[in-house]
């Protein structure tokens, strides 16, 4: 169900599923408000009963499994200031039973983020995001700074990500990563390339940093960086003829000697090569 009246749009959806001989149900309801021309507000409530477990469903959830969850999400975006965009979001969730990685019940958590973006011109763009999260008595605080410069066929984007994490049984740990993205589209030949050079220091799995990476056509990855070392990859697209295109991706991860010996790794190097040809007949 979806309806709109004035500045408000209201939506709701309900479903039922049978699991282990018992019926469960899920409900998602929310509203999108525009109280001012440059202000947007979103509210969303969801409830998935313990026996609701529909593998064919894709809905807003804290976990990948749609069952035994009760939560409320709120987000706001403000564009009233020249060249500036401010956004904030918060999500509170509750589980009545045991969830993956949480060996007790009931449990609850939250996920809050604050982001500001500065766009002085069509060429320059910068953003800063702060995030706080607690789940399973484990707290994580993260920061991401990013800048983007575009000029003709060039696009340059440096990024810094850092976090701190702790639970009630261990001390505070941290992780940090810096990566530089460069993309160039040739004007004289049907060729484009993108590359990334990255360094990371993430001594604990609890401080892992997820980094989105582009890949060949229809492919991507969201790697969890963990350890000490560096990573680089290059993507190449070549339109050989109008009906045939080639996509190539080569990536390399290099761990420090100390980290490789500590983890008894057979080799500190890891290389991946992806090759794709696309023909249009």
Specify the pLDDT at position 158.
97
- pLDDT confidence tier of residue 70, bands split at 50, 70 and 90: very high
Q: Which range has the worst mean pLDDT, 49-58, 119-128, 180-189?
A: 49-58
Q: What's 172's DSSP letter? A: -
3-state secondary structure 85-152: EEEEEEEEEEECCCECCECCCCEEEEEEEEEEEECCCCCEEEEEEEEEEEECCEEEEEEEEEEEEEEC
Give me the number of domains the chain comprises.
2
Nearest Cα neighbor of 99 from 64, 144, 52 is: 64
Asked whether residue 82 is domain-assigned, the answer is yes
Phi, psi for residue 167 in degrees, rounded to 5: -125, -175
Q: Tell which of 77, 93, 120 closes a domain.
A: 120
Q: Which residues contact 64 (CB under 8 A, 6 or more apart)?
A: none
Phi, psi for residue 111 in degrees, rounded to 5: -145, 110
CA–CA distances in Å: residue 251 to residues 136, 156, 185, 239, 264: 34, 19, 20, 21, 22
Average pLDDT, the chain: 91
Proportion of the chain above pLDDT 70, given as a percent: 98
Mean pLDDT of 27-55: 90
Asked whether residue 104 is domain-assigned, the answer is yes
Specify the pLDDT at position 22.
83
H or E stretch at 261? helix 257-262
pLDDT of residue 233 exceeding 90, the answer is: yes
Q: How many CB atoms lie within 10 A of CB 29?
A: 15
Q: Tell which of 70, 90, 120 closes a domain.
A: 120
Q: Are residues 241 and 280 in the same domain?
A: yes
The per-residue pLDDT for range 247-273, each reduced to its tens digit, is 999 999 999 999 999 889 889 999 999
Specify the pLDDT at position 191.
95
Specify the pLDDT at position 194.
95
Higher per-residue pLDDT: 262 or 85 = 85
Q: Are residues 66 and 173 in the same domain?
A: no
- The structure's pTM equals 0.85
Q: Which domain holds residue 30?
A: 1-120
Mean pLDDT of 228-239: 96
């Amino acid at each position: 169900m979806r309806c709109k009246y004035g500045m408000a749009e209201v939506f709701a959806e309900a479903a039922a599923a049978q699991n282990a001989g018992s019926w469960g149900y899920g409900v998602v309801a929310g509203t999108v408000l525009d109280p001012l021309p440059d202000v947007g507000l979103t509210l969303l409530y969801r409830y998935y009963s313990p026996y609701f477990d529909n593998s064919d469903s894709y809905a807003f959830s804290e976990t990948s499994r749609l069952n035994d969850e009760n939560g409320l999400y709120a987000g706001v975006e403000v564009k009233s200031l020249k060249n500036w965009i401010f956004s904030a979001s918060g999500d509170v969730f509750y589980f009545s039973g045991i969830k993956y990685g949480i060996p007790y019940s009931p449990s609850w958590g939250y996920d809050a983020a604050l982001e500001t973006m500065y766009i002085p011109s069509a060429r320059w763009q910068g953003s800063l995001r702060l995030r706080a999260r607690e789940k399973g008595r484990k707290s994580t605080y993260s920061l991401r700074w990013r800048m983007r410069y575009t000029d003709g066929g060039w696009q340059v984007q440096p990024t810094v990500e850092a976090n701190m994490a702790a639970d009630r049984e261990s001390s505070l740990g941290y992780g940090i990563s810096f990566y530089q993205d460069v993309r160039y589209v040739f004007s004289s030949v049907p060729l484009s390339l993108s590359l990334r050079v990255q360094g990371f220091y993430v001594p604990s799995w609890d401080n892992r940093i997820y980094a989105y990476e582009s890949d060949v056509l229809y492919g991507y990855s969201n790697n969890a960086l963990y350890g000490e070392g560096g990573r680089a990859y290059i993507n190449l697209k070549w339109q050989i003829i109008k009906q045939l295109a080639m996509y190539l991706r080569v990536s390399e991860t290099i761990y420090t000697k100390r980290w490789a010996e500590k983890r008894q790794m057979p080799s500190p190097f890891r290389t991946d090569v992806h090759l794709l040809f696309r023909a249009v007949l």
